[in-house]
Amino acid sequence: MASSTLEKLWAKALSLPESDRAALAHDLMASLDGPADTGVAKAWDAEILRRLAEIDAGTARLIDREEFSRRMRARA
């Protein structure tokens, strides 16, 4: 794409309302991804149900927000 074309597109995109810019950014990012893995959503659903079952059964080890934040800071 020629530089002037890109500059025109950029200027036009920046003049869009915020919600339209967000939608455009989302669609552009999605266009860089490969084809969707159809099994991912099903696998995540199964994992969520498994974790909820552990919580309901009282076998899950839960942590509070402060502990979670501490662990995430320690990983960085």
* The two structure tokens encoding residue 38: 């159809």
User: In a structure prediction context, what are the per-residue pLDDT tens digits for the chain, which is 76 residues long?
Assistant: 578 999 999 999 999 999 999 999 999 998 998 888 889 989 999 999 999 999 999 999 999 999 999 999 999 8
The residue whose two tokens read 């339209």 is 20
- Residue 33 has a pLDDT of 87
- Rounded distance between C-alpha atoms, residue 48 and residue 72, angstroms: 21
- Rounded distance between C-alpha atoms, residue 36 and residue 44, angstroms: 14
Q: What is the DSSP letter of 32?
A: H
